[in-house]
A and B are shown apart, each in its own frame.
Chain A
Amino acid sequence: MSTPDDSGPTLGALLQQAHALIDRRRFPHARQLLATAAQSYPDNPQVLYLAAFIDYSEGKLDDAEKTVSSVLLQDPEHYGGRTLRAELHEARKQFAQAETVWIELLRDHPEDADLYASYGELMMQTLHLDKAQRLMQEGLRLEPNHPKCLYIAALIHIIQGRSSDSENEHLQRLVTEYPERIQTLLTLVVALSQRGDNRSALRVAQQLLAMRPDSPHYLTLVKELKLQTHWSLLPLYPMQRWGWGGAGVITVLGIGIVHAARSSLTTDLASVIAYIWLAYVVYSWTWPGILRRLI
Chain B
Amino acid sequence: MSRLREDLERELLSNPFNAELRTEYAQVLLDDGDPEAALVQFELLNSQSSANAAAQVGAALALLRMGRDSEALQRYASARNTPGFVSDPTLEARLEKAKPASPARFTVVQGGRSEKVVNFAPPQGRERIGFADIAGLEDLKRTVRLQIIEPFLKPGVFAKFKKQAGGGVLLYGPPGCGKTMIARAVATECQAEFMSIGIADVLSMWIGESERNLASLFDKARHSKPCVLFFDEIDALAYSRSKAQSEHTRQVVNEFLAQLDGFGADNQGVLILAATNMPWDVDSAMKRPGRFSRSVFVPPPDAEARSRIVELKLAGVPHENIDSRAIGAATAHFSGADIEGVVELAKDYVLEEYVSNSSERPIRQEDLVRAAKGMQPTTLDWLRTARNLVKYAGADASYNDVEKYLKTHKLV
From known contacts A179-B41, A213-B280, infer whether A172 and B10 are also in contact, taking CB-CB under 8 Å: yes
Residues of A within 8 A of B87 (CB): none
Report if B161 contacts A (CB, 8 A): no
Q: How far is the CB of B56 from chain A (nearest CB, A)?
A: 16
Supposing A24-B239, A211-B242 touch, asked if A176 and B249 sit within 8 A by C-beta, the answer is no
Q: Is the CB of B205 within 8 A of A9?
A: yes
Determine whether A111 belongs to the interface, using a CB cutoff of 8 Å to chain B: no
Does A166 have its Cβ within 8 Å of any Cβ on chain B? yes
Q: Count the A-B residue pairs with Cβ separation under 8 angstroms: how many?
A: 110
Whether B12 contacts A211 by the Cβ 8 Å rule is no
Tell me, yes or no, whether A226 is within 8 Å of chain B by CB.
yes
| B62 CB → nearest A CB, Å | 15
User: What A residues does B10 contact at CB under 8 A?
Assistant: 166, 172
Residue tally, chain B, CB below 8 Å to A: 42
Q: Are B389 and A175 in contact (CB under 8 A)?
A: no
| CB nearest neighbor in A for B207 | A16
Chain B residue at smallest Cβ distance from A195 = B14
Q: A13-B205, A16-B207, A188-B16 are in contact. List 7 more A-B contacts (CB 8 A).
A: A19-B246, A24-B236, A166-B13, A180-B44, A204-B16, A211-B240, A222-B392
- Are B14 and A24 interface neighbours, CB within 8 A? no
Question: Chain B's nearest CB lies how many Å from the CB of A112?
Answer: 16
Q: Which residues in B have their C-beta under 8 angstroms from that of A165?
A: 13-14
Contact residues in A for B385 (Cβ distance below 8 Å): 213-214
Q: Are B386 and A20 in contact (CB under 8 A)?
A: no
Residue B37 is within 8 A (CB to CB) of chain A in the complex: yes
A70 within 8 A of B: no
Instruction: Give A26's nearest chain B residue, CB to CB.
Output: B236
- Docked-complex contact A206 and B394, CB < 8 angstroms: yes
Known contacts: A16-B205, A177-B40, A179-B40. The answer to whether A210 contacts B249 by CB under 8 A is no
Complex: A213 Cα to B277 Cα, angstroms: 13
The answer to whether A23 touches B393 (Cβ under 8 A) is no
Residues on A with C-beta less than 8 A from B242 are: 180-182, 211
Q: How far is the CA of A124 from the CA of B199 in the complex (A)?
A: 40
Contact with A along B272-303 (1 / 0, CB 8 A): 00000000110000000000000000000000
Q: How far is the CA of A207 from the CA of B394 in the complex (A)?
A: 8
Give the CA-CA distance A25 to B204 in the complex, in Å.
Answer: 16
Q: Which residue of A lies closest to B48 (CB)?
A: A207
* Tally of contact residues, A, Cβ under 8 A: 42
Pull 24 A–B residue pairs with CB atoms less than 8 Å apart, ordered by A: A9-B205, A20-B246, A20-B248, A23-B239, A26-B236, A29-B236, A165-B13, A165-B14, A166-B14, A172-B9, A172-B13, A176-B9, A177-B37, A177-B40, A180-B43, A197-B14, A200-B15, A206-B393, A209-B393, A210-B280, A211-B242, A211-B280, A213-B386, A219-B392
Please report which residues of chain B, range 360-412, place their CB below 8 angstroms from some CB of chain A when the two chains form the complex.
Answer: 385-386, 388-389, 392-395
Does any Cβ of B come within 8 Å of A74's Cβ?
A: no
| A210 touching B246 in the complex, CB below 8 Å, given contacts A175-B13, A200-B17, A204-B16 | no
Q: Closest CB of chain B to A20's CB: distance in Å? A: 5
Q: Which 5 A-B pairs have the closest CB atoms?
A: A13-B205, A180-B242, A209-B393, A210-B393, A213-B389
A17 within 8 A of B: yes
The answer on a CB contact under 8 Å between B244 and A226 is no
| Chain A residue with the shortest CB-CB distance to B8 | A176
Distance of A14 Cα from B249 Cα, bound (Å) = 16
B393 in contact with A203 (CB, 8 Å):
no
A19 to B210, CA, bound (A): 14
Of residues 34 through 74 on chain B, the ones whose CB sits less than 8 Å from some CB of chain A are: 37, 40-41, 43-44, 47
A14 near B205 with CB under 8 A, answer: yes
B243 contacts A by Cβ under 8 Å: yes
Verify if B245 is at the interface (C-beta below 8 Å from A).
Answer: yes
Cα A212 to Cα B392 in complex, Å, equals 12
Select which of B15, B37, B244, B392 is within 8 A of A23 by beta carbon. Answer: B244
> Contact flags (1/0) for B230-255 with A, using CB distance below 8 Å?
00000110011011111011000000
Q: Mark A176-217, 1 if CB is under 8 A from B, else 0.
A: 110111100000100000000100100110110111111000
Considering the chains assembled together, what is the distance between the CA atoms of A171 and B13 in angstroms?
8
Q: B43: which A residues are within 8 A, CB to CB?
A: 180
B314 → A minimal CB distance (Å): 30
Q: What is the minimal beta-carbon distance from A40 to any residue of chain B, in angstroms?
A: 14
Nearest to A219 among chain B residues (CB) is B388
- Which of B12, B205, B388, B392 is the most central at the interface, judged by chain A CB atoms within 10 Å of its CB? B392
In B302-319, which residues have CB < 8 Å from any A CB? none
Distance between Cα atoms of A175 and B245 in the complex (Å): 18
B117 interface residue per 8 A CB criterion: no
* A21 close to B (CB within 8 Å): yes
B139 CB, nearest partner CB in chain A, Å: 24
A16→B207 CA distance, assembly (Å): 9
- Once the chains bind, are B41 and A210 in contact (CB under 8 Å)? no
A182 touches B243 (CB 8 A): yes
Give A23 to B199 CA distance when docked, in angstroms.
13
Q: Which of A16, A179, A182, A204 has the most CB of B within 10 A?
A: A179
Does the CB pair B392–A223 fall under 8 Å? yes
Q: Contact at A26–B199, with CB atoms within 8 Å?
A: yes
| A246 shortest CB reach to chain B, Å | 23
Residues of B within 8 A of A214 (CB): 385, 388
Is the C-beta of B203 less than 8 angstroms from some C-beta in chain A?
yes
Interface 0/1 of B216-241, CB less than 8 Å to A: 00000000000000000001100110
